[in-house]
Each structure stands twice: as C-alpha cells, then as structure tokens.
Amino acid sequence: MSKDESSRKKKESVGGREVCGTLKGYDTLLNVVLDNCIEFLRDPDDPFRQTGETRALGLIVARGPAITIVGPSEGVEEIENPFNIEE
C-alpha cells in the first residue's frame, strides 16, 4: 500500500460491498481503517448493479480476509484484457 495513507482509497469486499474513504492505517493482515467512508449501494433485486445512491458510513475497520480489492479512487482506467484469445 502507498506510504501516503491520507489519500482516498476505494475498497471492495467479498460480498460485493464497495466503499470509498480516506486510508488511516493498516496492519500485517491487511485489515484497513478508512475514515469519511461512503458506501455505493446496490439494487436489492440485482446485487450486481449499483443504484447510484450512496450512504455515509464514517469510520470503518475492514477485515483483511474479507477485502478483495483496495486501490486509488481516482486515476484508474479500464484496459482491454490482454489474455483474451479470440477464436
């Protein structure tokens, strides 16, 4: 993780919940503490689709084993899959 812990980070967990907040700290098990968190809400009928609504969470502690992705909230772009082989 970045030494600049005060930067905004986006986190996605195993259950698909996605939050964005300011990284305050982490440990060797990659448990993370995020402050000023907002959660991106999902459609209750289709859990794979976000509704565009958010919910303020404040300070959260996320367990490392439940986290799938941690990354910057800005400056990321999607690229074409280099491993996709067309037949």
Q: Which amino acid is at 27?
A: D
- Per-residue pLDDT tens over the stretch 4-29: 556 676 666 767 788 989 999 999 99
Q: For the stretch 21-41, what's the b/e string if a residue is b when 16 or more beta carbons lie within 10 angstroms of its beta carbon?
A: bbbbebeeeeebbbeebebbe
Q: Which domains can be identified in the chain, with CATH numbers?
A: 8-70 (2.30.30.100)
Mean residue pLDDT across the chain: 83
Residue 44: band (very low, low, confident or very high) from pLDDT cuts 50, 70, 90 = confident
Entry pTM: 0.71
